Structure 1
């Protein structure tokens, strides 16, 4: 027997609360794409209901979701109500553990997504440039090599570890941060590369 469709979200419900409702129903977590699909299926009014094949629509949908997720993570931690794991391939609600999962105040990803200027100021041309080279290689199955090349670490071989990658990440964020005149699209590529490399160098 077919399951009855879930009711639409109330239009006044915040996107963070809508995501929390779906994540509570998925204890193993959800990938970003599936979470977006579920939000759209329940007619969330906070996301564009346009084709994700449009690159700017895809960027804005991604940005709005991650803005909501980082706001939700902050709130859950402050309320001691849980910890939200935010990774590109798995967004998962975990139990709160006192003293071990505090929200870092120097998290560049958090800073990026909580700054709505990046949503307003990113143009279709910016998104096109963002998707060139690095992102093209990443989606072609060469994500690790693409990320290492972006960090200019692809020649370090066996000497490479997570501590070195983090050091290089901090250098690049400092160099390309928009507050210092850098490019928001370049910063987003750097942030995504760090998420990729964290999966390979634990």
Structure 2
């Protein structure tokens, strides 16, 4: 396992790691791999401090979205980006067109969100996340959001992804929808992917 060249930017370093491990990484595994390879682009500090955790997460996702854009431009692959699975796939123009609508991309590519997020803001983000996830109701809430909680037929990922595409089409900000609603739809898909593989 070689160190990553400090002369390379973070997206280039991530591309090397993702090509080495086709099954992908969780966000945590990818951060640990970068630290083991002596990457100088993320803080080499314990992730126990919430602000350090947020900044590390933000820098990683900023670089991942840059890499995804670069891969699309070069038709060099498709980068699946969630906290649970970061994986490089072969280029597929149809899939890329759908994922390109991801509102999180704008958030992570705007460095003012990194600069302007202080410790109290991180506390609010974490409190909001845990409130939504509390009590193991994440699956039920995601199914309700997708309006699949009363479906008569057996549920599988094909049906979930079909409904996801419909909701993205309906609620995209370019079509008068809300960015916040679209973020909720993307989060619900991540949750349901944990239960329906």
Does the TM-score normalized on the shorter chain lie above 0.5? yes
2:58 is aligned to 63
Number of residues of Structure 1 aligned to a counterpart in Structure 2: 183
Match of 2:14 among 16, 19, 31: 19
Shift in Å, 1:195: 4.3
Task: Give the Cα separation in 2 of the matches to 1:37 and 1:112.
Answer: 24
2:78 is aligned to 83
Q: Is residue 2:178 matched to residue 1:174?
A: yes
Shift in Å, 1:169: 6.0
Judged with a 3 Å threshold, the aligned counterparts in structure 2 of structure 1 residues 110 and 67 are, in CA distance, closer, same or farther, namely: same
TM-score of the pair, normalised by structure 2: 0.75
Judged with a 3 Å threshold, the aligned counterparts in structure 2 of structure 1 residues 105 and 7 are, in CA distance, closer, same or farther, namely: closer
Q: Is residue 2:187 matched to residue 1:196?
A: no
TM-score of the pair, normalised by structure 1: 0.73
Q: What is the CA RMSD across the aligned residues, in angstroms?
A: 3.4
Secondary structure of the structure 2 residue equivalent to 1:76: helix
Task: List aligned pairs for 1:120-135, cutoff 5 A.
Answer: 120-135=115-130
Task: Give the Cα separation in 2 of the matches to 1:127 and 1:198.
Answer: 25
Residue-by-residue CA offset, 1:99-124 (whole Å, 9 max, x unaligned): 32335553201111111111111111
Structure 2: state its 5+ residue gaps: 152-159
Runs of 4+ in 1 over 6 A off after TM superposition: none
Structure 1: state its 5+ residue gaps: 1-5, 178-186
Q: Is residue 2:95 matched to residue 1:101?
A: yes
